[in-house]
Amino acid sequence: MDQRICIKFCVKNEIKCYKVCEMLTKAYGESVMSKTRVYEWYKRFQDGREDVADDERPGRPSTSTTDENVEKVKAMIMNDRRITIREVADDVGISIGSCHEIFSNVLGMKRVAAKFVPKLLNFEQKQRRMEVAQESLKEVNDDAELLKRVITGDETWVYGYDVETKAQSSQWKHPGSPRPKKARQVRSNVKVMLTVFFNFNGIVHHEFLPQGQTVNKEYYLKVQRRLREAIRKKRPDLWKNNSWLLHHDNAPAHTSLLVREFLAKNNTVTMPQPPYSPDMAPCDFFLFPKIKRTLKGRRFTSIDDIKSASLKELKAIPKIEFEKCFDDWKKRWRKCIISNGDYFEGDNINVDE
C-alpha cells in the first residue's frame, strides 16, 4: 500500500516511471514491487485513478490468502528463491492453488530460469557501467546531434558453418506427427575475422583480417589509418571539422599506447565503453547478430564464400536499421541505470514512459 501511495505521488509530480522504479528500489530494496506492477499502477494513476487499494474481486473470498499467510510465504521466498510452490504450501499449510494465488496475484512474482551473462559483475564494475551510461546520456541530452557524429566498430569471427538457433530450427507440425530431429553439430574451423565501423547513416569501413595475421596493436593502428581515409571519402561533413567521435571496446589492441598516441595526435575524441558490456556496444547488440543470424545453418566451403556472404548481409541492412540502433543505444543506457549497473537484457524494463 505504501509503495502505491509513493507511485501516486510521483505521477502527480510528473516523475517518469523509470525514475519511480529507481526510487522505489532504493527505498524498499528486496521488498520492492515488481517492475511490471509498478508500471501497471503508474498507468492506473496516470489515467485518473485515486484509490490505492486493490479492486474487489468477484466470488467467494479466499480464507487462505490472509495477510499472515502472505507474510509467511514472502519470508520463505526471501530466504530461498529456489523453493517450490509445493514446499511453500506444505510448510504454510495451504493448498497449492492458494499458494499460487499469493505468488502470482498478491506478490506479483513468477518463477524464471537464470539467464546466462558474460560475467558476474562485482560492485565496482556495475558502478563503472552506471557512470558511463549516466555520462553518455548527459552528453547526448546536451547535444542532440552527438550520436550522429559517433562512428563505432569492432571485430568478430564469421564461420564457414555456425549452428542454427533453436528458433531457426523449429518447424510447424500436426499433433500426431513425430517431433523433428537434428544431429548435434559444432562450428567449423574455417573462419575469417571481419572488422566493421559504422555510424547513424550506415557502414563507413569494413575489412577482413588477412590469413595468418592477428589483431595486435600494429594491425589495429593500420585499421585506424584506413578508417580515417574512409571517413574522408564517405563522411566529408564529419571529416571537414574533425567532428566525429570514435567508439570501440577495451580490447588490448584498441587501448594500446601505440593506438592511443595515434588518436591523440589526430585529435580523435573517443566515447567511453565500460568493460564486460556487450549489451551497450552497438556492434555486439545490433550489427554482428544481424549479420550472423541469416548465416547460421549455411555451409561455406571457402574463405572467399564466407566473405561474399558476409558482405552481402552487411550491404543489405537499410539505413533506418542503423538509425534505430543508435536510438536503442540510448535506451540501453537508461536500462543500465535502472538496473543499477547490472545486465538488463531479458528484463521487463520500459523506458518509453
What is the distance between the alpha carbons of residues 169 and 155, in angstroms, rounded to a whole number?
A: 27
- Which residues are within 8 A (CB) of 66 and not within 5 positions of it... i.e. 6 or more apart? none
Q: Compute mean pLDDT per 10 residues along the chain, 353 residues long, and list them.
A: 85 88 83 82 87 66 75 90 89 88 86 85 96 96 95 97 85 84 86 97 97 95 98 96 96 97 96 96 97 93 95 96 96 95 88 66
**At CB < 8 A and 24+ separation, what contacts does 308-317 make?**
310/158, 310/192, 310/194, 311/206, 314/196, 314/203, 314/206, 315/203, 317/202, 317/203, 317/287, 317/290
Q: What are phi and psi of 216, to 5 degrees?
A: -110, 180
Instruction: Give me the pLDDT at residue 353, please.
Output: 53
pLDDT of res. 194: 97
At residue 193, the pLDDT reads 97
pLDDT at 295: 94
CATH 3.30.420.10 maps onto the chain at 123-165+186-338
Q: How far is CA 3 from the centre of its chain?
A: 28
Q: Which is the CATH superfamily of the domain at 123-165+186-338? A: Ribonuclease H-like superfamily/Ribonuclease H (3.30.420.10)
Contact 238, 149 (CB under 8 A): yes
pLDDT for 291:
95
Residue 168's pLDDT is 81
Q: So what's the pLDDT on residue 56? A: 62
pTM exceeds 0.85, yes or no:
no
Residue 197's beta-bridge partner residues?
Answer: 153, 205
Exposure string (b/e) for 159-188, b if CB count within 10 Å is 16 or more?
bbbbbeeeeeeeeeeeeeeeeeeeeeeeee
